[in-house]
Amino acid sequence: MTTLRNRKIVLASRPAGEPKTTDFSLIEEELAAPGQGRALLRTLYLSLDPYMRGRMSAGASYAPPVEIGNVMVGGAVSEVLQSDVAGLSPGDIVEGRTGWQAHAISDGNGLRKVDPALAPVSTALGVLGMPGMTAYSGLLTIGQPKPGETVVVAAASGPVGATVGQIAKIKGCRAVGVAGGQKKCDYVVNELGFDACIDHRRPDLAERLKEACPGGIDVYFENVGGAVLEAVLPLLNPFARVPICGLIAHYNDTAPPPGPDRLPGLMMLALTRRLTLRGFIVGDLAAERPDFFQDMSRWIHEGRLKYREDIVEGLEKAPEAFIGLLKGENFGKMLVHVAS
């Protein structure tokens, strides 16, 4: 087999606050032959997700940080080019955490086959992948929405938030989204079928959210934190459930947010209204994966669940696109198209 030159993006430095393009380096190097018990993969699509910001920092978290000089972590859909792994053949399409690179060598662990006949293979990184599973399991297992309840979700036009709201509607709930900009809010209401969507950039966010939730909030799916959470808290009903998926408003913080200490107020509210606040990582709920694939595939086939992808071309565009993602510049699931 002809020797391949692999292109990969590595972590060059740990960002202080907002990441910069100089925190990444694009490296080209010779790729060794896969060897016995290994498969050679060619990346087709790379997923960009907010959690990656935490992996760039050295602080303690639920997963180890990316070491300086190592390839950036991330999920990808790839084509098998060569294989000595049982169950994998050239031409197979797989999904796995192979990182920001054009090619990868894998022993098969952590890979799952993707059926191109089921849906476009890119959806294995979005609505039929980690973001979709996060929305499905977080809402149904932790949020436990009941018909007639009000479900509010932050980052409602993103891959997780958009799915949360649509599942809430399927379950008979009122779905209210919060998104950045009128264009995104129009999409959430007119295309995805939410009952309302509030632009978090408006100065009257709290008042508009209260108007959209006259009966209070029973489930708040947290993706953002910051001003959105502050607007939500007074509206939470007794026994409300708050699945905490992400806090993107704080991922670039270098110090505690300014202002008074709000923790005592939050704890008092949790006590008096008997709130359930639970952080989760999608892997915690892996047992639900079979139900997820069955339900989501059916809902997509029936036209009850829609999705949107925001695709940039070329591996070299990944750092810039990722920085934009953290600023909310994406519109839908952020993907990098690496190869056809």
pLDDT tens string 114-151: 999 888 999 999 999 999 999 999 999 999 999 999 99
Domain 4-126+308-337 and domain 130-285+293-298, same fold? Reply is no
Summarize pLDDT for 178-200 with one digit per residue, the tens. Answer: 999 999 999 999 999 999 999 99
Higher-confidence residue of 101 and 54: namely: 101
Query: Among 273-277, 282-286, 295-299, which is the least confidently predicted range?
Result: 282-286
Summarize pLDDT for 140-182 with one digit per residue, the tens. Answer: 999 999 999 999 999 999 999 999 999 999 999 999 999 999 9
Q: Look at residue 252 in the predicted model and tell me its pLDDT.
A: 72
Q: Does 248 have pLDDT greater than 80?
A: no
Q: Which residue has the tokens 């662990």?
A: 109
Mean pLDDT of 262-284: 92
Mean pLDDT of 237-245: 97
Q: What are the two backbone dihedrals, phi and then psi, of residue 233, each rounded to the nearest 5 degrees?
A: -50, -45
CATH of 4-126+308-337, one of 1.10.510.10, 3.90.180.10, 3.40.630.10, 3.30.565.10: 3.90.180.10
CA atoms within 13 A of residue 306's CA, in its CB half-sphere = 12
Q: Does 2 have pLDDT greater than 90?
A: no
The structural domains of the chain, with segments of one domain joined by +, span: 4-126+308-337, 130-285+293-298
Q: Does 47 have pLDDT greater than 90?
A: yes
Q: Is 166 helix (H, G, I), strand (E, B) or coil?
A: helix
Longest dimension (CA), the chain: 67
Q: Does 1 have pLDDT greater than 60?
A: no
Q: CB neighbours of 49 closer than 8 A, spacing ≥ 6?
A: 74, 75, 130, 131, 325, 334
Mean pLDDT of 9-24: 94
**pTM score, whole prediction:** 0.89
Summarize pLDDT for 251-269 with one digit per residue, the tens. Answer: 776 677 777 888 888 999 9
Q: Which long-range contacts (CB under 8 A, 24 or more apart) does 322-325 make?
A: 322/19, 322/48, 322/52, 323/18, 323/19, 323/20, 323/21, 325/48, 325/49, 325/50
Quick one: what percent of the chain has pLDDT higher than 70?
Answer: 99
Mean pLDDT of 77-96: 96
Q: Tell the CATH superfamily of the 130-285+293-298 domain.
A: NAD(P)-binding Rossmann-like Domain (3.40.50.720)
Q: Does 80 have pLDDT greater than 80?
A: yes
Quick one: what percent of the chain has pLDDT higher than 90?
Answer: 82
Q: Look at residue 254 in the predicted model and tell me its pLDDT.
A: 66
DSSP state of 3: P
Mean pLDDT of 279-295: 92
Q: Look at residue 63 in the predicted model and tell me its pLDDT.
A: 83
Instruction: Tell me the C-alpha to C-alpha distance, in Å, between residue 238 and each of 144, 199, 230.
Output: 14, 26, 17
Average pLDDT of every residue of the chain: 93
Q: Look at residue 250 in the predicted model and tell me its pLDDT.
A: 73
- Measured CA to CA, the distance from residue 292 to residue 310 in angstroms comes to 23
- Measured CA to CA, the distance from residue 242 to residue 311 in angstroms comes to 31
Cβ pair 114, 94 in contact under 8 A: yes
Under the banding of pLDDT at 50, 70 and 90, the label for residue 328 is: confident
Mean pLDDT of 72-101: 96
Q: Does 93 have pLDDT greater than 80?
A: yes
